[in-house]
Structure formats: structure tokens, C-alpha cells
Structure 1
Amino acid sequence: HLKTGAGYFVEAGDEIHYYAGDKVVIDAAMELTARGGGSFLKLDPSGVTLSGPAIKINIGGTPGNGSGLNILHAALPFVAAADQAGSTLARLSPSAKFPAPEPDMLAAQAAETDEIEDEEEEEETNLPIEQLITLRIGVFFDGTGNNKENSQSVAGCRAEDVGLEEIAEAIRQHCANHGFDRQGRSPDNSYGNDVTNVARLYGLYRDESDVKIEMSAQTASLRVYLEGIGTRSGTEDSLYSQGTGQGSAGARSRVEESPEKIAKAVNFFYQQNPHTQIERIEFDIFGFSRGAAAARDFANEVQKGADNLIAVALPPGSPMLSPNFGWNPDDVTLGFVGLFDTVAGIVAPGALDFSPHNHRNPGLNLQLAPGVAKKVVQLVARDERRHNFSLNSAGASDIVVPGVHSDLGGGYMPRAKEKVFLSRPRSSLARLTTPNEHTNACISTAAELDGKLGQLQRYGMGLSVESWSIELPFNRQRDLYREKHVFCAIQSEREVSGALSLVYFRVMRELAVREGVPMNDIPATPQLTLPAELEPIYVKVLAYATGESAHLALTDGEEALLYRRYIHQSANWNAANGWNNSVFSIFFINRPTQDGKRMVHQHD
């Protein structure tokens, strides 16, 4: 059932077909007109009018075929008169003949025809044209191991949210299936991460895909979310894609998935607004970590014009695109590009490239040409120094701010117990009866602890030497006494907050809004409320990011606050599960760089 107010208009480039199994009824209270090729049929209170060079009434056959009955245009008045006298058109045969009409009748008919055609032309002139709009599309690429849907699906599993001992068994089983234990400890996968700033900004971006826009509207906006690298909503993560950035859930795969999602959103919008045609498209692009690398590659994909992947999904000539839209620079632009700490880190085993540390990132184009967008912003993590998290700079668009990688992009839990090794575990061989702290490994580690105290006091950490041992097999015929391998490392344990990411969430949103990005206000929810002690820091960071202040100018007290409560120790010697005793560095995926300084791949 379709009901409209003043009018309903349908336009097609070539054909429109209506089909019904039994009948089609067209009912008009005053007038019904059908016209085509210069001929027309009109029904109104005065009668039925047909006009055209020739009129054919088929007897038998199918429309357009069958046995034709040619009636001269001038004979129509006679036919009408005969019908009123009782001779209906249904009784006519193919051989029926009609006498020639009177000259006065011909003149009157011609005058009436001209009048009707003038009326039709006037009506056609008054038909409204298509509503041309600029469509703004936000495209959001989440980070490695980050997935909005997965994080939200287990929000009730975390210890700070709910007492797991008291919840229903079905819920507890759901949590256990995704790696949460009975104390609510989080697993090391996309289900164990909080939502990122990319997901938060996606939630704010104005989405009008299911809205019937006003007839006076000149713009509309849609949003599209791409899952984080190495993740799939509702399923297990891909360790291969997380480790290499490649594969079916890799960075380039996310770029290749985006056109289908964009086309789906555009088509849904068009279903709600069939009177609109898209005159221009403007993309806003956001990304974090490897998602930021995908965002940069997507920006370059858009620059390919009619050859880009989105143009394949929405080719010129599509009904929702204006006739002049051809994916040319005048048709599609990049508005705002917002990046959180780009780390491409692509590993290519097939090319014998096993290091995410280097500058080689096959399959991705990270270069952003001058003027590629109206505004490009990259927030860079000042305190990140992991070997495997080299920065892909965006040149003059970089804004260096306090924190490590996920302090900027998000994903850390709101509150968490951080327990990390700050030194590489040392090992030594000792008698089984020797106290661990008396072994060479632990004595050397204790000396290293003394050297780190001054450096790490600002973090407010409780530092200690952690030791563990593995007893070796004993052979009575060969060994004089039982032995063990002793391992020692400096350990830190503290509670740390994930709220620093909310500062950068607000900063990026404000920078985007100032460039005209259609973002809603931040809702006053507990999850998005900024701690009061971070408010003055946010004000200073925003002033620095906007250029209103030449320096960040945090006080010593503000820096100390960030280090004690908010900046995580991302660089550590915690090994991949089960590999703390390994002598191979590859298993310490979060290890710091050798010189303690982050590798930066410059933007050419």
C-alpha cells in the first residue's frame, strides 16, 4: 500500500513494467491521461479522447500483434457518436469501414487536440525535477584485534560490570566460550578488548540511511564500519591476519570489503528517498592502528576515479546517481581523514619478510598526497616504544600527544590490573636447594631494578623481582645433585585506567566537527564521561591540536598524573602464552626497541 500527499512521481531511464496476476485497476477521480510517442489517451468527465497519427484496435492476438483495425484520426468523433447510438467498439470487425467525417468536425477535433497537447505540455513543465544532493559517507576502519560487535557482545562478562558467580549459567557459559574466567578476567582477543575510538566516533556519525529527508535538503549522511584487522563479528579471531596484517581479515581485505558495505548503505538510503539523486559524494575516513593503514589505502583507492573499487559497486548510470556523476574529481572528494597512530606492520612470509618493524607494507598505499583531503589529522603516541609498533608518519599532519598506542586509539579496559615484566627474563642454572634470589639471574636482575627505579617512579609502580624455576630431570648415575633453571625479571603491578583514550576521542571529534563532519553530540553516559581530573588536560591537548597553542604545556603534576594512572606500559617482556622461558625474541611481541626509541617510517 502506497499513500502520498500532493503527488507521487516515478521516472525510469528506459522502461517501467507493472504486472498483476488477475487485474490492474487505475482509478482517477477527475482525469486519467496516458501519452507516448506523440499520441495520447485521455479520460475525463467529458468523455474519452484518443489522439495520434493512426489508431489500431486489435482483434485477437497479443498487444501489438493480432488483427489490426486502422482508424483514421479524423474518424474518432464518428466512432464516439456511433457508440452512443448503441454500436460499441467491441462489435467492430477488422473489415469495418467508417464514412469520412464532415470538414467542420475535423477542424473542431484538431483545435481540441491542440488544446489538450498544450495542457499536457504545461503539466509536464510543472513536474518537479529530481532532488540533487551531496551525500557524505563516513567510513570507519577499526584496529588490529578490535571489533565493536564482539566487544559489546561480552560487555557483561567483565569483573567490573557484574559478579559472575551470581549470573545465570547460560550467561556464564557465553562468557566462558569467549575466554572469560569465573572472576571476569579478560581473554587476549577481540572479545577481551573495550571498544575503540573508531567505534565510538562511528556511533556519533550522523546516519540518515533510514530517514526520509526533507524535500529542501541538499545533503545527507551515511556511515559504514569495517571490523578490525584479524577479527570477524561473532566468530573466532584470525591469528594469521592479526599477526601479518594479511589474509581474508587483513588490512587490504578490509579496503576491498568496503565498496559492498557502502553500496548497501547507499541503496538503503535510496529506497527511503527515491526522489533524490546523488550529485556529489564526500568521504570522511577514520582509522586506528592497522585500520589507519587501511584508511589511508582507501583514501588512495577513491583517488583512482572511475577505476576505483567503489565505482564498480556504484557505477555511473546507477539510478541513485545523477546522470552527470562519473566518479571524477568534481564528483567525489575526501573531507576529513582522522587517524589514530598508524601502524601498518605488514608481514609477508611468502617474500621472506617476517618483520612488522620495517617499512615494507606490500599491498597497501600509505602515501597521502598534498591536498588529498580537506583536512588530514594523525594523533601520534608519544610514549609508544615497542619494536613491533613502528609508526607510519603522516608528515605535517602528525600531532604528538601523551600516551601509548591504545591510550590514543582505545581498546584498553576502563579499569585493569596491569601486571608486566619490564626486563627480559634472565636465566641461570642452580642447585635445586639454592634460593632463587641467590642465583646469578636474580642478582643481576636486582641490580637492573636499582637502575630503573628513578626512571619508573613517575609511573607510581610497585616494582619487584619476580622469579620462577623449572626443575631439570635427575639422573642418579650421572648427576651429583638435583638442578633447576631459574628465571628472574623485573615485574610491575598496578591498576591503570583506560580513560585517557576519552581525551583523544573528544579531540578527534572536535577537529572533525570544525571541518563540517556531521557528528552528533557525545551522550552523557558513564562509559563516555571524562574523569574530572582529565578535563584540564583535554582543554590543553585540544588547544595544541587545533594550533591555538604552540606547545602542549602540561604541568609536571599533570604529566605525573598521566603516568601514574593512565599511560599504560605497552612495551614489556610478557611473552606469548607459554613462552616466558624462551630464548627467542620473536615470542616477546611487545618487547621494547633496543634503544628505547620508537622507529618512525617517514612520510615521503
Structure 2
Amino acid sequence: MHIKPFHRLRPADLPLVESPFLASQTLRRTLSDPLAGHSSLILGVIPGVLPGTPREAVHQYLISRIATGELCLVHTGIGSDRPMSPVVSWRTGQGDGNAGAWQCESGAREIIGLEHSVAELNRKGVTPKDLSRTEGIGFRNYQGSPAESELNGGPQYKNADRRLTLPLGASASVLPLATESETPASEGEAEGVHLVAGLFTDGTLNNVDNIEIFRERLMAECVAPIKADPSRLEECRNRLAMRMGESYASGPTNVVKLFDLYDEEGFEDGSQRTVTVKAYEPGAGTKSGEEDSLIGAATGLGETGVIEQVRRLFKEAARRILDATEGAKIQTLTVDLFGFSRGAAAARHATNEILKGRNGEMGMALTDEGIGWPGEVRIRFLGLFDTVAGIFNPSSLDLSAGNDRNSPVELYLDADKISHVVHLVAADEKRANFSLNSIKGEDGRLPENFAEISLPGAHSDVGGGYPDLQTEDLLLYPTLSIRGSETRWPRKTMEWDNLKSLQSRVELEGWVGPNSFPLSDGREPSIRIEQKRNEHPLPDGQVEMSLKMTRQIKGEYSRVGLYLMHELARAKGVPLDQIDETDPAMRMPDELGEIAERFSQQIDAGEIELSLHTDKIDWLRQRYIHHSDHYNPLEWLMAGEIAALEIPAQEFIHPLRPALSRKRKIHPNTISG
């Protein structure tokens, strides 16, 4: 038995490849049986296995990559060493004994590129007899069949290099079958490098550089000066946040944390040199060290919008690639992308630009640095946290951030051109301007290599960005006013009844309860109706009634989403380091570890809507899940004082209002999207 990456297979290997599931079981038994020995197991050049790696780690790596189809278990075909469940078989047709066709069997779709290669064998009329005549490794020695000779232009091509490759226009993301010999390059011969690139795009008003600047200012202006009076710290922090902007006062997202975990260590194995680079680009509406852009944040367009975010990402990646490759030719390119919110939309747009090849934005960025387009390109993994494109484009008469019009951003994901996509979505997000751009088709179905997993929480509970602790002081419905004689008995009005009904609904949803934290000043959290009486206009004045919720909430729940994405990405070969449980920014609180483990088990069982018992959901909602929709007035600093402005017609234009009927709109994965 041989273990090879797909791109190292030769034509004769295809009928001898075991299905990924059975292959992983066979390999597990072979490696775990101390009496069996491993003399029958032949390892070729295996990307990702470094010299000196502990044996157990190598074994686990091989088993996991075999199970996902990223490595292939190839039998020799000698004696009993044959696949029990081959992924490719020959089906004989009628008439001539040579008539028939190659067919993909169970498990073939797990091995990205296999179906295209089988189609190529059939297109060129390759038969089992033709495969039996192949010698050597790779396609360089393949002599071809008469049918192929005709397809390639006749006998004059008989001795040419017969390379069965994927159709170039079919899928630029899929590595074709090997066109080079596995024989090591001769001394001094340059094979080029294998490049792995991790690309990370943050969400709207999320910028890790600005977060660091804010932390330094917070320590200097708030923490140190008022140590003697901690009660003033939150007020000082809020004022500083208003002065500096939202991108400064938020917390780091899961995109930033995955960027930090992405391993850039390259390695050499014989003649093969693998280089890894990574690049991060802050979210829409931000520039590092500068004021936030209201236009970029509101529309997703302009100088700090999604399109420019992707262009800057590619330029940064190209500079890093030039430094890392030192001018060497790039033989293959494997790309992993991660994004949150509008950054997830940016990751999807970036994917489509990569698939355009040398004419796309990444191709042009490489050209600007004098780097040629790689011979083989693969989108290995796309990790998305709650995609919200939210494009508002008045020039195209697109006047709603919540609709499915997102031009010029390209969101459509082609399952045939991407190896794996994982999309974690927020089950408790209700805002009208935060419609979900799903990866499901219009029929609600998912391709086999796509996973869309719904977990409890609001938008940033899934993608990250909340501070570790904050006070939610929310206006849950626009303030209602009563005038005239009704001001004498406000609790007997229709307005009061409406607010009481809403209050009951919020209480039943479990946002405040026995598991809630006390407020920083010691008060209990509450959901209440406040009344404010004004003497004017005369003679009866006016009474304003507001439904409010005040509570203390923690921000670490987003680490559950981080844990799940990290686990799923590593299973597909993404080079992420282990999460350091001693790192305060990464460590999973013990009380959330049980939830993360339960969700992981549900995913392993094939569930896509992660759930908890009602009492556990109430516990989670009261301590960790944020209530993202509200009608709070806009606040800013004026002459050192906090000023507030209620938005008129809040039910229709407040940017953080809930969707109608509190049901989030979901847009499918379509080309027009």
C-alpha cells in the first residue's frame, strides 16, 4: 500500500485507490497493530509531515488526511492487496471488449479533483489495458491509446509527453493529477516552491491594530489614573471609545485569533520546498491609526469598503509571498481564507478573484511584484463566520443593506471549485440590516463539501469582537409618548399595554433570570418600563414610556465558535497551531468548555442546528448571549459631555432595529447574489 497526495497519483493508481472511509479504518488498524508491522506501507512525499515529527502525531495526521480525501491510500494490485471499495471502476459496455467507461464510486467526491480526472480518462478513451502498459511514475512515460492519439492530433504525437490533466477551464482551484516525476530533481535543478497562503479579512469596524492602540490609551488615561475608584472605569472607557471610534473599543474577533494561530513555518522534504505565508486585512470602515469611516461602515463600499479591503489584502499577501519565496517560481498554490461579517463577504469575493487566475485581483497583485501565476491553484478551505454583506449602494438604486443586491461584491461560491467551506451562523441574530448571506442553494440544500452550522448567539457572539465584560443598557422599543388627559393614568393606555406585552415576550425569552450577573454598581439586572413626565406642552404635559433592559454580560462565548472553526479547519489540513489554554485571549472558560464539546459532538453526528436543553439555553442567554437589536439613541461627545439623539421614524430607519416579526432574512447562494 502507498500513501500519496492526490496530485502525486499516476493514471494506473486510480482503480487502486481505496474509499476514504475504509482507507482510514484500514490505516488505523495497520498502524495500531504492533504485530502487523508496517513493511507493506509505503510513504511518498507527504506535505505537512516534517522530519522528526513524533510517530503518534504522524499516524494521527495520516489517518485524518486519508479520511478527508486529502491523502490517498493506493493498493499495489498485487495478490490480495486490492481495494475493498475502490473509488474508480471500469464498467464494460456492449460489443467490443474494450468498450466501456470509467465510473466514480462511493467516496469519490471526497477526493477533490478525482471526478475531473476520471472524466479526462473517458474523454481520451483510456482503457484498463492502456493503464496496464504505463511504466514509471507520473504521466511522463504514458504512451497513450489509439483514441488519445487521435484526440491529440494523430501519430506525430505518439512519443510526446502524454499528460492527463484536468481541463484548464474546468476548475482552477483543483490540483490536477501530477505532471512531474516523483523522481527527485537532479542536483541543482530548481523545481520551484509549493506555496500555502492564509488570507484573513475582518468584519465591519473590526481592526486589531486599532484595538491595540485603544488598550494603550485605556491604560494611560483610565486604568492607571483612577485605580482608587474602579466604579469610574467604565464611564472613562465609554468616553474614550466615543472619542476614538468603534474599531478601537471592540475586542479581537475570531478572524484575528485564527490569524495568530496560522503556522507560517515552511519546510523542505527532499527536492520539495513548501513556503507558508499569511495576510490580515482590517474590516470595512477602518484604517489603522485613523478615524473610522462612516461611509465605509454604513455602505460597505468606498475607500474602506469590501472591494478595497480585498485589493489591499492581495497586495499585502503579494509582498509577503515575494519575501518568502525569494524569487523562486511558484509551482503550486494552496489557499485558506477566513472572514467574519462583511469580512466573510470579502473572503467570498477574494475566492472568486483567485479563481479568475492571472486576470483576477490576486493575479494582478502578484504581477505587480514580478511574481508569475502558479501552475496549480487550490482553494483548500473557506472558513466563514456569519456572512453579512450589507451592501448599500445608492448609485445603483440599492437602498437597503438587508436585501440580496450586493454588487459589485461577488458572493457566489461554486462547490466544484472549492475543496471545503464551513459557515458558522448566528441563530439569535434578528437585526434588519444583518440579513444572512447563506451558502445554501435556493432549494435549501448544501453541496457535500459545504457545511453551514447554526449555533446559539447573535452576530458577534459567533464571530467575536465583544469585550470580555460589558453592561447592556438597551432601549428595546421606540419611546412612546402620551398627551392630554391620558397623562393622568398612563398605565391605563394602549401604549402601556403594548409595552407590557413586549416586556412579557422578552422576559419569556429568558434574557434576565437567576443566572444573570449583578451590575457593576451592585444593582440587579432588570427588564422594565420607565416613565418620564414633562410639564409641557400645557395644560396636561406629556409622559414618555420606554421599555428598557439593563444587565451585565460576558464576551467569551465567541470562543466556542473559535474552537469549532479551529477544529473543523485542522481536520481539513489547515496549518493551525493548537489553542494555547494559558493565553487569556484564547482560553475557554470551564463553564463553556462543556458546551463547546457538546456542539462538537453534534457536528460529528451530522447535525447543522446546534442545540442545548432549555435550562442551559437560558443560562447561556443570561450570561453570554448579547441582545444585538435595539433602538438606543445615537451618542457622541460634545465639549466633553455625552450628547444623545433619538433617530426619527426608528421603526424604519434605526440601523440596529430588528427585522419584521423578529425573523432574520436569509439570502441563498446564487450567482446573482
TM-score norm. by structure 1 comes to 0.68
* Equivalent residue for 2:661, pick from 583, 595, 604: 595
Classify the secondary structure of the residue corresponding to 1:165: coil
2:595 aligned to which of 522, 532, 537: 537
Cα distance, 1:557 vs structure 2: 3.0
- Which blocks of at least 5 consecutive residues in structure 2 are unaligned? 1-184, 441-445, 517-524, 636-643
1:191 corresponds, among 248, 255, 264, to 248
Instruction: Report the alpha carbon displacement of residue 229 of structure 1 after superposing the two structures with TM.
Output: 0.6
> Which amino acid in structure 2 is aligned with residue 339 of structure 1?
L
CA distance in 1 between partners of 2:570 and 2:646 (Å): 46
Structure-2 residue corresponding to 1:388: 433
Paired residue for 1:220? 275
Q: Which residue of 1 aligns with 2:120?
A: none
Is 1:404 matched up with 2:404?
no
**Structure 1 partner of 2:262:** 205
Deviations 1:257-280 (A, max 9, x none): 222111110112134xx6x43211
TM-superposed deviation, 1:436: 6.8
Whether the aligned pair in 1 keeps the contact of 2:453 and 2:608 (CA below 8 Å) is: no
Matches within 5 A, 1:92-491: 128-130=188-190, 132-156=192-216, 163-166=223-226, 180-181=238-239, 189-208=246-265, 218-271=273-326, 276-315=328-367, 318=370, 326-327=373-374, 331-395=376-440, 396=446, 397-430=451-484, 441-442=495-496, 444-456=498-510, 460=516, 462-468=526-532, 472=536, 481-482=538-539, 484-491=541-548
Matched length: 453
Indicate conservation of the 8 Å contact 2:455/2:609, yes or no.
no
Distance 1:469 1:160 in 2: 41
Does the 8 A contact of 1:139 with 1:285 survive in 2? yes
Instruction: Kindly report the root-mean-square deviation, in angstroms, between the aligned alpha carbons of the 2 structures.
Output: 3.3
- Consecutive unaligned residues of structure 1, counting only runs of 5 or more, are 1-124, 475-480
CA 316–289 in structure 1, closer or farther in 2 if over 3 Å, else same: closer
Q: Distance in 2 between matches of 1:551 and 1:344?
A: 22
Q: Please identify the structure whose Cα radius of gyration is greater.
A: 1
**CA contact 1:431–1:482 (8 Å) conserved in 2:** no
Structure 2 distance, partners of 1:230, 1:449, is 35
Output the amino acid matched with 1:582.
Answer: P
1:444 is displaced (CA, Å) by 4.4
Q: Give the residue type in structure 1 aligned to 2:457.
A: G
Rounded to whole Å, the distance in 2 between the matches of 1:430 and 1:336 is: 63
C-alpha distance in 2, partners of 1:589/1:301?
30
TM-score, normalised to structure 2's length? 0.62
Whether the 8 Å contact between 1:388 and 1:590 is mirrored in structure 2 is yes
Take 2:539 and 2:356, find their aligned partners in 1: how far apart are those partners?
69
Q: Residue 258 and residue 450 in structure 1: after superposition, are their counterparts in 2 closer, same or farther (change >3 A)?
A: closer
CA distance in 2, matches of 1:317, 1:582: 51
**How many Å separate the matches in 1 of 2:250 and 2:368?**
41
Taking the aligned partners of 1:545 and 1:157, their CA distance within structure 2 comes to 42
Q: C-alpha separation between the residues in 2 aligned to 1:332 and 1:375? A: 14
**What fraction of aligned residue pairs are identical, expressed as a percent?**
31
- Structure 1 equivalent of residue 160 of structure 2: none
Matching residue of 1:115: none
Q: Tell me how far apart the structure 2 counterparts of residues 288 and 340 of structure 1 sit (CA, whole Å).
A: 5
CA distance in 2, matches of 1:313, 1:348: 26
Contact 1:155 1:161 in 2 (8 A): no
**Is it true that 1:511 corresponds to 2:568 in the alignment?**
yes
More displaced 10-residue stretch of structure 1: 441-450 or 525-534: 441-450
Q: Take 2:203 and 2:467, find their aligned partners in 1: how far apart are those partners?
A: 15
- Residue 143 of structure 1 and its aligned partner are, at CA, apart by 0.1
- What SS class does the counterpart of residue 222 from structure 1 fall into? strand
Whether the 8 Å CA contact 1:180–1:187 is kept in 2: the answer is no
- 1:129-168 CA-partner distances (Å, limit 9, x unpaired): 2253211111101000100111122225559996353489
CA displacement at 1:512 relative to structure 2: 1.0
State the distance in 2 between where 1:153 and 1:552 align: 37
**Which amino acid is the alignment partner of residue 299 of structure 1?**
T
Contact 1:575 1:587 in 2 (8 A): no
Q: What are the equivalent positions in structure 2 for 1:578-593 lying under 5 Å apart?
A: 578-580=644-646, 582-593=648-659
The separation in 1 between residues aligned to 2:492 and 2:245, in whole angstroms, is 34
- 1:565 matched to 2:629? The reply is no
The Cα of 1:510 is off from its aligned counterpart by 1.2
In the alignment, the residues of structure 2 paired with residue 376 and residue 428 of structure 1 have an alpha-carbon distance, to the nearest angstrom, of 53
Contact 2:275–2:325 (CA under 8 A) maintained in structure 1 = no
Residues 151, 191 of structure 1: 8 Å contact kept: yes
Aligned partners of 2:296 and 2:369: how far apart in 1? 37
Q: 1:493 aligns with which of 528, 550, 560?
A: 550
Matches within 5 A, 1:74-85: none
Deviation of 1:239 (Å)? 0.3
Aligned partners of 1:159 and 1:185 also within 8 Å: no
8 Å CA contact 2:484–2:540 kept in 1: the answer is yes
* Number of the residue aligned with 1:120: none
Q: CA deviation at 1:556?
A: 2.8
2:585 aligns with: 527
Check conservation: 2:244, 2:291, Cα contact below 8 A.
no
Which whole-Å CA distance do the structure 2 matches of 1:297 and 1:228 have between them? 14
Q: 1:378 to 1:128 in 2, by over 3 A?
A: same
Deviations 1:553-572 (A, max 9, x none): 52333212211111110122
- Is the partner of 2:367 in helix, strand or coil? coil
Paired residue secondary structure (1:388): coil
Deviation at 1:584, TM superposition (A): 4.0
Q: Which residue of 2 aligns with 1:30?
A: none
**Structure 2 letter corresponding to 1:306:** R
Could you tell me how far 1:375 is from its partner in structure 2? Answer: 0.7
Residues 492/159 of structure 1: CA separation in 2 closer, same or farther (3 Å cut): farther
Following TM superposition, by how much is the alpha carbon of 1:220 offset from its aligned partner in structure 2, in angstroms? 1.9
Q: Matched residue of 2:648: which SS?
A: coil
Q: Deviations over 1:318-367 (max 9, x none)?
A: 4x65xxxx45xx52110110000000010011233221111111101100
Q: Structure 2: which amino acid aligns with 1:355?
A: S
Does the C-alpha gap of structure 1 residues 483 and 269 become closer, same or farther in structure 2, counting only changes over 3 Å?
A: farther
